[in-house]
Amino acid sequence: MSNTSIAEQATASVVSESPAIIERWKRDFSQTKTNGITYDYIIVGSGSAGAVVANRLSEQSDKRVLLIEAGGVDTKDQIQMPAACGSCQLGEIDWQYKTTPQLYSHFGCVNQQSNWPRGKVLGGSSSINYLQYVRGDPHDYDNWQLPQWSFQEMLKYFKKLERADPNAIPRNQHFRNHDQDNGMMDVTILEEPNSTNRLFIEACEKNGFHETKDYNAEGSLNGCVSMSQISAKEGKRWSTASGYLLTAVKRENFDLLIHAHTCRVAFDEQKQVSGVIVKRTSSLDKEEFIKGKEVILSAGTVGSAQILLLSGIGPREELQKHQIPMIVDLPGVGKNLQDHMMTILVYLTHIPTLSTRDLTPENLQKWATQGKGPLTSSGGESLAWCQLNGNDNSNKTQVPDIQMQFSPFTADAEFFRISNFKPEVYEQYLKPHLTDESQWTILHLPTLLHPESKGEITLASCDPLAHPIINPNYLEDKEDVRKLVEACKLVEKIFQTEPLNSTLKSMAKEMNGDEATENEDVFWESYVRKYTITICHPIGTCKMGKEEDSMAVVTSDTRVKGVRGLRVVDASIMPNTISGSTNIPTIAIAERASDLIKNND
Ligand SMILES: Cc1cc2nc3c(=O)[nH]c(=O)nc-3n(C[C@H](O)[C@H](O)[C@H](O)COP(=O)(O)OP(=O)(O)OC[C@H]3O[C@@H](n4cnc5c(N)ncnc54)[C@H](O)[C@@H]3O)c2cc1C
Minimum CA distance residue for ligand 1 atom 24: 300
Q: How far apart are CA 33 and CA 10, in angstroms?
A: 37
By residue range, what is the domain housing residue 506? Answer: 82-119+185-237+338-534
- Provide the residue count of the chain: 601
Q: What was the pLDDT predicted at 384?
A: 98
CA 105 from centroid of its chain's CA atoms: 21
β-strand partners of 382:
227, 406
Nearest atom (ligand 1) to Cα of 580: 11
Asked if residue 554 lies in contact with residue 573, where contact means CB atoms within 8 angstroms, the answer is yes
500: closest CA among 203, 193, 194, 211? Answer: 203
Q: 537 an active-site residue?
A: yes
Of 227-236, 443-452, 516-525, 577-586, the range with the lowest mean pLDDT is 516-525
The CATH number for 218's domain is: 3.30.560.10
Q: What is the spatial distance between Cα 475 and Cα 482, in angstroms, rounded to a whole number?
A: 10
Q: 475 in a domain, yes or no? A: yes
CA of 118, closest atom in ligand 1: 53
- Closest ligand 1 atom to Cα of 584: 11
Confidence class for position 17, pLDDT limits 50, 70, 90: very low
- Selecting among 139, 261, 444, 537, the annotated active-site residue is 537
Q: How far is the CA of 50 from the centre of ligand 1 (A)?
A: 10
| Closest C-alpha to ligand 1, atom 47 | 120
Out of 55, 307, 308, 582, give the residue to mutate to test ligand 1, the one with the largest number of ligand atoms within 8 Å of its CB.
Answer: 582
**Amino acid present at 209:** F
- The C-alpha atoms of residue 233 and residue 493 are separated, in whole angstroms, by 35
Confidence band of 27 (pLDDT split at 50, 70, 90): confident
Among 238, 456, 490, which residue's Cα sits nearest to residue 345? 490
Contact at 8 Å (CB) between 569 and 593? yes
Mean pLDDT (whole number) for 439-462? 97
How many structural domains comprise the chain? 1
Dihedrals phi, psi of 480, to nearest 5 degrees: -65, -40
159-188 pLDDT per residue, tens: 999 999 999 999 999 999 999 999 999 999
Does residue 198 surpass a pLDDT of 80?
A: yes
| 466 is a domain residue | yes
Q: Please report whether residue 314 resides in a domain.
A: no
Sort strands 260-267 and 115-116 into parallel, antiparallel or unpaired.
unpaired
- Confidence label for 13 from pLDDT (cuts 50, 70 and 90): very low
What is d(CA 444, CA 342) in angstroms, rounded to the nearest whole number? 9
412 belongs to a structural domain: yes
Residue-wise pLDDT tens digits, 475-533: 999 999 999 999 999 999 999 999 999 999 999 999 998 666 779 999 999 999 999 99
Q: Would you state the pLDDT for residue 258?
A: 95
For the stretch 313-330, pLDDT in tens is 999 999 999 999 999 999
Query: For residues 342 and 351, what is the distance between their CA atoms, to the nearest angstrom?
Result: 24
Count helices and strands (H / E) in the chain: 19, 27
Instruction: State residue 435's pLDDT score.
Output: 83
Question: Of the candidates 344, 415, 299, which has an alpha carbon nearest to the alpha carbon of residue 4?
Answer: 415
Residue 597 domain flag: no
Q: What is the pLDDT of residue 394?
A: 67
Dist CA 126 CA 124 (whole Å): 5
- By the 10 Å C-beta count (0-12 exposed, 13-18 middle, 19+ buried), 117 is classed as buried
Q: What is the pLDDT of residue 6?
A: 45
Residue nearest to atom 14 of ligand 1 (CA): 129
Q: How far is the CA of 523 from the centre of ligand 1 (A)?
A: 35
Residue 19 has pLDDT above 80, yes or no: no
Tell me whether residue 121 is annotated as binding.
yes
Distances (CA, A) of 54 to 214, 300, 384, 508: 30, 15, 34, 46
Confidence of residue 31 (pLDDT cuts 50, 70, 90): confident
Residue 599 corresponds to which amino acid? Answer: N
Instruction: Give the dihedral of Cα atoms 362, 367, 370, 371; nearest 10 deg.
Output: 160
C-alpha to C-alpha distance for 205 and 264, rounded to whole angstroms: 52
Kindly list the distances between the CA atom of residue 165 and the CA atoms of 77, 111, 176, 497, 552, in Å, as whole numbers in the listed order: 24, 44, 10, 33, 38
- The span from the CA of 194 to the CA of 206, in Å, is 20
Quote helix, strand, coil % in the chain, to nearest 5: 35, 20, 45
Q: What is the pLDDT of residues 67-115, one digit of tens each?
A: 999 999 998 889 999 999 999 999 999 999 999 999 999 999 999 999 9
Ligand 1 atom closest to 122 (CA): 49
The one-letter code for the residue type at 387 is Q
Q: Is residue 57 part of a domain?
A: no
How remote is the CA of residue 324 from the centroid of ligand 1, in Å?
27
Q: By the 8 A CB rule, do 137 and 215 touch?
A: no
> How far away, in angstroms, is 238 Cα from ligand 1 center?
14
Q: Which tens digits make up the pLDDT trace of 517-544?
A: 779 999 999 999 999 999 999 999 999 9
Q: Which amino acid is at 451?
A: P
Closest by Cα among 133, 155, 84 to 415:
84
Q: Are strands 440-448 and 345-349 parallel, antiparallel or unpaired?
A: antiparallel
From CA 290, how far away is CA 44, in angstroms rounded?
12
* Long-range contacts of the stretch 8-13 (C-beta < 8 A, 24+): 9/359, 10/359, 10/361, 10/364, 11/77, 11/78, 11/81, 11/84, 11/364, 11/367, 11/368, 12/77
Residue 390 CB neighbour total at 10 angstroms: 7
Say if CB 553 and CB 542 are below 8 A apart.
yes
Is residue 403 included in any domain, yes or no? yes
| Under 8 Å between Cβ of 601 and 154 | no
Residues with CB under 6 Å of ligand 1 are 44-50, 68-71, 117-120, 124-126, 128-132, 134, 261-262, 298-301, 303, 307, 536-537, 570-571, 581-584, 586
CA gap 485, 497 in Å, rounded: 19
Per the rule left: phi > 0, alpha: psi between -120 and 50, beta: everything else, 560 is beta
AA identity, residue 285: D
Q: How far is CA 37 from CA 32, 63, 253, in A?
A: 12, 12, 11
| Closest CA to ligand 1's atom 48 | 124
How does residue 24 score in pLDDT terms, banded at 50, 70 and 90?
Answer: confident
Residue 504 Cα to ligand 1 midpoint, Å, equals 34
Q: CA–CA separation, 551 vs 140, rounded Å?
A: 20
Q: Distance of CA 224 to CAs 205, 348, 384, 399, Å?
A: 9, 25, 5, 12
Rounded distance from Cα 492 to ligand 1 centre (Å): 32
Percent of the chain at pLDDT above 70?
95
pLDDT in tens, 566-594: 999 999 999 999 999 999 999 999 999 99
Q: What is the pLDDT of residue 223?
A: 95
Q: What percentage of the chain has pLDDT greater than the value 90?
A: 89
**Of 236, 207, 242, 243, which is closest to residue 223 (Cα–Cα)?**
207
Pocket test for ligand 1, best of 125, 457, 583 (most atoms within 8 A of CB): 125
HSE on the CB side for 257, CA within 13 Å?
Answer: 25
Looking at the domain assignment, is residue 223 inside a domain?
A: yes
- Residue 390: predicted pLDDT: 58
Task: Give the type of residue at 326.
Answer: M
